[in-house]
Structure 1
Amino acid sequence: MLQNKAISILIKLIIAQRYLAINSLILALFTSILEGISTPFVMLILQELGGGLFNISQIPIIIKNIVELYATFPKSWHLLILFVTLLSLTIIKNIFLYFSNININNLQLKVGFLLRKVCIERFLKLEVSFYNRSNIGTLLSFVNEQAQRSEILSSQVIEIIREMLMIFILLVVLIGLSPELTIISVISLLVISLLFKAVLNSVRIYGRKAANSIDEFSSFITELLSGIRVIKSFKSEFRELERADKYLTNRYVAELGAFKYNSAIVPLTETAGIILLLLLLGVGSSVVSATGGGGLPLLLTYTYTLLRIIPRINHLNSLRSQLALLSGSLEVIHDFLSSTDELHLPDGQKPYRGLTSGINFENVSFTFAANSEPTLKNISFPVKKGTITALIGSSGSGKSTLADLVMRFHDPDSGRIKIDGIDLREYQIASWRNAIAMVSQETFLFHTSIRENIAYGCPDATKLEIIEAAKKAYAYEFIQELPEGFDTIVGDRGARLSGGQRQRIAIARAILRDPDILILDEATSALDSNSERIVQRAIEEVSRDRTVIVIAHRLSTIEKADKIIVMYNGRVAEQGTHEELLALHSEYWSLYKSQVSVKEQIIQST
């Protein structure tokens, strides 16, 4: 019904909410006991309505005790006492049942909350390299549909225990009424359970297929929505609709297969129950013949109690089927959590307290998991405190990868990055990253206000500090022109702002953070000339008195850098100042001349 890996994580989730689970079970126990106690009163009422003829020697001991108790009252009160007692027991039982249901639903919601939180904590713990090779749609499904299906399992486990308690108590009553008929009932129920085992196995198999199809469909939808501009520009709507049809069909087939088996549970159980009931009525009729009319109330009560059990067995089998159907989702989440348990960089012990001398790259090499060739090969150069170091080179030369190593998104395969002579891996990741700000070409803004985006790295910043940072980033003027000023919502990824405006907000965010080290990853390459000039002035403002690493495409923006590192095919080809590199008449000289020539051609053509 449930695989071991699904059981292990489900038990942990339920134990985390053990008080709710225990309360639910205690309430379920009281409900079951009251259910069992109230059942004999049905026989007594039937007996009273039939004239009150009892053969004391033939009735069960529990009913005999009740008879002796209420027989002390006047006979005219007997029926009223039985009615009031049965009604009172039923009301109290259903009050317990109500609170039991509340606790079970509360447990389900708490487990869902905890499961989503565990997944989100893992998302935040995993390093950037994991996301470079993962599909966001699949990850989203863990906290959406898969978690929603998984949380239901917790309530179903408690419901199964509750139904089993109910059935057990009612079986005790049945044994008290007629041990012979109960033996026949139990044997029949065991046979029925064995017949359903194959059906439940099929439900579990299709449930896992359904869970996998949900992952695939979520991945497709995320990709479709993320690439909607590309899809429309290439008029590929029909092709994407065909892909959608394929994923939807796979999901439909998997879920339909699961529901076909799942839907067979209740009809089969009910049919088996009716067969059992008819069998018992046939056997039980001999009791009536042997005892005369006095045995009729017992047979009717036994049948009534059995009819109370059969729907619970139906529900129990339905719950078991649902458990098999939904367990696939919990298995998928378990696989994700177990497979990513060790996929994070080891944290250092030393707190970072500020740069005193500089950063030094010593024979640094790095290879991405998906590549066979190293992206960086024996990189060595120093970055002195308070200087501007520029990284240039063709696309794929390793510039951004080097910046990611500084951010400690990855660790080198070999070699070391030393901070004031200490290996970067010895520093606490949080304290190190708190001292760095990065402004990249693809600026990411959250779907919140401009104020919140600027203060993202410093959530306790005052209003005046945010305004001052905006002024230094040359963003204050355009912010004031917006309808809601600093309270303007920027839209998804900052879609309501222009590229230059987004960059200036990102620079204001970096200025407010007041970092020791600033990384500028082609921060102006995607801007028009007017926006570039404004952003460049903002960059000069944020770069003042800091250690800056600039990744540049346009060489005109880094001519004043203290050192320029020319990278080629993952190696350092040249390094020096602008003038020194031009004098070499080599790689940098060729790049610079080619950009000057292009610029002259553009000027001449205009």
Structure 2
Amino acid sequence: MNIFFFYLNQFVNHLPRARLFQLLTALPLIIVGSFLEVFSLALVVPFLTSISSEEIIISNSSLNSFISWLNISTNDEIIIILGILFVSAVILSGVTRLYIIWFSNLLSANIGHDMSIQAYENTLKKPFIEHKLSNSGDVIAAIITHIHITVLVINSLLTAASSFFTVLAVGIGLAIINPIETSIIAVTLFLSYLLITRIFNKRVEYYGNIIAENKNKKIKLIQESLGGIRDVLMNNRFKDYVESYNILDYQERNLLAKLTFLNRTPRVLVEIIFISILIIAGLIIAVVFQEKQLLIPTLGLFALASQKLLPNTQNIFNAWVTVRSSKVQIDETLKLLNQPAYSNFNALSSHQNLVFQDCIEFNCVSYQYPNNPHESLADINLKIYRGDKIGIIGTTGSGKSTFIDLLIALLEPSKGSIMIDGQILAGEISRQWQSLISHVPQEIFLFNKSLAENISLSKIYDYEKIRDAAEKSLITSLLEDCLGENVHKTLTERGSNLSGGQKQRIGIARAIYQNKPILILDEATSALDLYTEESILTALRESSVKLTIIMISHNLRTLEMCDKIIWLEDSKLVGYSDSKVILSKYKEKIAKFRSFNKTS
């Protein structure tokens, strides 16, 4: 039972005030519904008694006063009046129960929506380093699957709360009418479910954990197979992936079947016990006490009570099974909800303080990734002035990408500081700085939207600006010929029908459209032929003298177009000077390296 209250407390802490008010509103509604169930149940005894024995009705002083007040003279009138009251109570109770079910489902759906939005927003706002170190399959599973399961848990908890009050109210009503049989039934029900929960406890949790684990593995497997579909097709690896999926899916479906069986088993067992007790009680009343006139009302009362008690008791058990089998999903959901809110991602203030006018300065900057004993960048000192055209060179693993991530404030230095016009790059300044930068990575992510929307990153765009960006990035033919001038035509997922060079030019067009003062090209022209690359870079240089361009490239002819070169080796700054000076030294190193490879 502790686990119910623990998760209930966790969920309540994440509810907005409006949703908490709705939850509190549901409580009196549930209590009213429970007492209406008791009221309908209380009317079954006099109704059945009036049918079976007129003498018992007449001998009952309370009923006699009620009959006299209504001025009823015949037994038929008594039966009709009690029947009308009984049916009215059943209808009112049923309508109330339907409303509670509708309200509970709507409330749990709204709570799920609140949690889903909060979890998604918290995930997007995580620091870049956490995104870099996390597995996208786990994140997708948490946001899509785990939150869905958590909503089902919340729904089952609300249903269990309603069922608890119903069972409690019905139990109290039965105890007043027939305390002995009620006590026997109550103790039997309690001990039966207690024993069943003790037997099923570890198995339910184990099944739930394996099911959650297999769902995550299936998502990762689908991502891998579809993401690497070229290798799957070329290397004929269908069988490997299908076989792996088959094993995971079969185990998951099999355990779901077992979990469903465990969930439904108690209802059948308890029904057998309950009906057996009811028949034994009837035999005792009829044979031992020789009170056959009480047989129909008593059996009718407990038969109707069983229709109230058994489903609601099972609902409570269902909630227990759902919670125990969904612990992994609930914990992952709470982990997403409990992520700290990072103030860096608050909306930019309307008054933009930062305007890049002078220089970017790295002061003794070092960076070390978590759980990595070595620094990716060590003691970097340099200045980049407004309007500079800077190239970055270095071997793989020399720290080029880390330098860019620090420059665009996705990472914060482990040591030292980065200054923008004399202001430390941190907090609100980081957000303002990022709003001044257009970043074009090597792998361009294309959305399943129109070409115009992929360039503008918005549904509302300036078509003339799009044409200008397309001309400078040499994708006018793509804009007009390939798509028949239909800029509204939706691109395929991730631009699968486009070449690598076309994707990179769309990325560059996107940066040109944004028209920001700083342009970062992170190997953004690697898929272009030399003529296209030089044409685009020349257009960018000539577009504005004040435009600051910083680019990573392995093309020496492209780097010759830069004013200065940053040379990184083994996480350190080897050189930062005029492009001709740096490239001459770099070419010598490349020549020596090639010569060494030929002789070795």
For residues 409-436 of structure 1, give each alpha carbon's deviation from its aligned partner in whole angstroms, at most 9, with x where no partner exists: 1111111111112221254332221111
For residues 169-208 of structure 1, give each alpha carbon's deviation from its aligned partner in whole angstroms, at most 9, with x where no partner exists: 2222212321222222222222223212214523234223
C-alpha distance in structure 2 between counterparts of 1:66 and 1:212, whole Å: 63
Which residue is 1:489 aligned to?
490
Q: Secondary structure at the match of 1:425?
A: coil
Aligned AA (1:237): F
Unaligned segments of structure 1, at least 5 residues? 596-606
Contact conserved, 1:163 with 1:316, CA < 8 A, in 2? Answer: yes
Aligned pair partner of 2:38 in 36, 39, 52: 36
Q: Secondary structure at the match of 2:576?
A: strand
Structure 1, 165-174 or 422-431: larger mean CA deviation: 422-431
CA-based RMSD of the aligned residues comes to: 3.0
TM-score (norm 2): 0.89
Structure 1, 197-206 or 277-286: larger mean CA deviation: 277-286
Which residue is 1:474 aligned to?
474
Which residue is 1:173 aligned to?
173
C-alpha distance in structure 2 between counterparts of 1:145 and 1:79, whole Å: 55
Which residue is 2:224 aligned to?
223
Which residue is 1:88 aligned to?
88
Structure 1, 346-355 or 258-267: larger mean CA deviation: 346-355
Which residue is 1:505 aligned to?
506
**Cα displacement (A) at 1:276:** 3.4
**Cα displacement (A) at 1:65:** 6.2
Change (3 A) 1:110 1:246: same
For residues 257-289 of structure 1, give each alpha carbon's deviation from its aligned partner in whole angstroms, at most 9, with x where no partner exists: 534432433223223323433443355447852
Alignment of 1:126-205 (within 5 A): 126-202=126-202, 203-205=204-206
C-alpha distance in structure 1 between counterparts of 2:287 and 2:170, whole Å: 23
**Cα displacement (A) at 1:330:** 0.9
**Cα displacement (A) at 1:437:** 0.6
Change (3 A) 1:68 1:472: farther
Which residue is 2:598 aligned to?
none
C-alpha distance in structure 2 between counterparts of 1:64 and 1:158, whole Å: 41
State the number of aligned residues.
587
Q: Identical aligned pairs, as a percentage?
A: 24
Which residue is 2:597 aligned to?
none
Which residue is 1:52 aligned to?
54
Which residue is 1:562 aligned to?
563
Change (3 A) 1:362 1:4: farther
For residues 221-269 of structure 1, give each alpha carbon's deviation from its aligned partner in whole angstroms, at most 9, with x where no partner exists: 2222212222222332222233334433553465455344324332232
Which residue is 2:522 aligned to?
521
TM-score (norm 1): 0.88
C-alpha distance in structure 2 between counterparts of 1:575 and 1:110, whole Å: 57
For residues 367-391 of structure 1, give each alpha carbon's deviation from its aligned partner in whole angstroms, at most 9, with x where no partner exists: 2225332111111111011111111
**Cα displacement (A) at 1:125:** 0.6
Aligned AA (2:99): F
For residues 269-324 of structure 1, give each alpha carbon's deviation from its aligned partner in whole angstroms, at most 9, with x where no partner exists: 223323433443355447852xx444234423432343232333233323332332
Alignment of 1:313-328 (within 5 A): 313-328=313-328
Contact conserved, 1:351 with 1:428, CA < 8 A, in 2? Answer: no
Contact conserved, 2:361 with 2:418, CA < 8 A, in 1? Answer: yes
Aligned AA (1:183): S
Contact conserved, 1:363 with 1:378, CA < 8 A, in 2? Answer: yes
Contact conserved, 2:440 with 2:520, CA < 8 A, in 1? Answer: yes
Structure 1, 302-311 or 131-140: larger mean CA deviation: 302-311
Aligned AA (1:526): A
Contact conserved, 2:156 with 2:315, CA < 8 A, in 1? Answer: no
Alignment of 1:581-592 (within 5 A): 581=582, 586-591=585-590
Contact conserved, 1:21 with 1:158, CA < 8 A, in 2? Answer: no
C-alpha distance in structure 2 between counterparts of 1:233 and 1:192, whole Å: 59
For residues 338-389 of structure 1, give each alpha carbon's deviation from its aligned partner in whole angstroms, at most 9, with x where no partner exists: 4x53889799999652112110112211122253321111111110111111
**Cα displacement (A) at 1:150:** 1.0
C-alpha distance in structure 1 between counterparts of 2:230 and 2:375, whole Å: 33
Q: Secondary structure at the match of 2:412?
A: coil
**Cα displacement (A) at 1:589:** 3.9
C-alpha distance in structure 2 between counterparts of 1:472 and 1:327, whole Å: 55
Aligned AA (1:565): I
**Cα displacement (A) at 1:159:** 0.9
**Cα displacement (A) at 1:152:** 0.9
1:448 aligns with 2:449: yes
Change (3 A) 1:542 1:123: farther
Which residue is 1:604 aligned to?
none
C-alpha distance in structure 2 between counterparts of 1:57 and 1:76, whole Å: 17
Contact conserved, 2:408 with 2:434, CA < 8 A, in 1? Answer: yes
Which residue is 1:303 aligned to?
302
For residues 561-593 of structure 1, give each alpha carbon's deviation from its aligned partner in whole angstroms, at most 9, with x where no partner exists: 1211111111111222133235xx533443489
**Cα displacement (A) at 1:557:** 0.7
Contact conserved, 1:213 with 1:247, CA < 8 A, in 2? Answer: yes
**Cα displacement (A) at 1:123:** 1.8
Aligned AA (2:179): P
Which residue is 1:109 aligned to?
109
Contact conserved, 2:34 with 2:169, CA < 8 A, in 1? Answer: yes
Q: Secondary structure at the match of 2:419?
A: strand
C-alpha distance in structure 2 between counterparts of 1:537 and 1:123, whole Å: 39
Contact conserved, 2:53 with 2:293, CA < 8 A, in 1? Answer: no
Aligned AA (1:437): S
Structure 1, 322-331 or 428-437: larger mean CA deviation: 322-331
